[in-house]
Amino acid sequence: MVKEFGLPWIAHLLLQFFIGPIWGAVIRLVRGRVLWAVIYLLTGGFFAIGWIYDLVMLIIHRDYKLA
């Protein structure tokens, strides 16, 4: 799922569920999207809407990559 970290899908899903805004920001930061990572972290995953969207996409599409 997340090739940068070598994690299986279920590990990525658990990290996204428990520490979603932090994990979403880390993934965006590693992929070079620094501004989006800071915004995502400071707004709590875009006021939880982005966090919920990422979580649903991970459940529906196992090959989903966070932007």
In a domain, 45, yes or no: yes
In a domain, 51, yes or no: yes
Q: What is the DSSP letter of 19?
A: S
Count of domains forming the chain: 1
- Write the pLDDT tens digit of every residue in 10-54: 888 888 889 888 888 888 888 898 998 899 889 988 888 888 888
In a domain, 46, yes or no: yes
In a domain, 67, yes or no: no
Q: Does pLDDT of 60 surpass 50?
A: yes
Longest dimension (CA), the chain: 28
In a domain, 50, yes or no: yes
Q: How confident is the model at residue 63 (pLDDT cuts 50, 70, 90)?
A: low
In a domain, 65, yes or no: no
Which residue did the predictor score with more confidence, 54 or 1?
Answer: 54
Tell me the residue range of the domain where 48 lies.
9-60
In a domain, 30, yes or no: yes
Distance CA 41, CA 63 (A): 23
